[in-house]
Amino acid sequence: MALALPKIVYPSGGGSTLNFVYPPRKVPYRAYETTRHDNVASSGVRETVFERTDTFFEFEMEYVKLASDVSNWDSFIQSALQGTPFDYYPDGTVGSFTTYTLEDTTWNAAYKQLGMYAFAMKFRQRVAWP
């Protein structure tokens, strides 16, 4: 049984496709960040004002090959760094996806070993405006 690899379609809805050569690594089950304001009165009563909870998708790419693989990532990153939304397909052979924007504002494909690079990414799930 072959491992289904993810893909990214950018900009969201069509255009270019980044097919993963290797799967992402160190992917947490979920990553949330909540914006809220807490106030504790001198009496000890706590008041919380909740604004929102953002959902993130974080992972590491430990092995990105020299040549076309890192070049394809570079093309995607140049678009994503501008805030362009994109569609992430956890299984590139299935039609279900989540739309994200890149949370990172920098990208460094660091040397891993001869012919390989590594980097981490953080995506913010896009919330549709009503």
Q: What is the pLDDT of residues 15-71, one digit of tens each?
A: 999 999 999 999 999 899 999 999 999 999 999 999 999 999 999 999 999 889 999
38 three-state secondary structure: strand
Cα-flanking dihedrals φ and ψ of residue 62, to 5°? -85, -25
> How far is 88 from 109, CA to CA, in rounded Å?
20
* pLDDT given at position 128: 79
pLDDT band at 9 (very low <50, low <70, confident <90, very high): very high
* pLDDT given at position 62: 94
* pLDDT given at position 101: 97
Question: Above 80 in pLDDT, residue 3?
Answer: no
Over residues 67-103, the pLDDT tens digits come to 899 999 999 999 999 999 999 999 999 999 999 999 9
Question: Above 70 in pLDDT, residue 2?
Answer: no
Question: Above 60 in pLDDT, residue 1?
Answer: no
> How far is 98 from 89, CA to CA, in rounded Å?
7
Q: What CATH number does the domain located at 7-125 have?
A: 2.40.30
Cα-flanking dihedrals φ and ψ of residue 70, to 5°? -70, -30
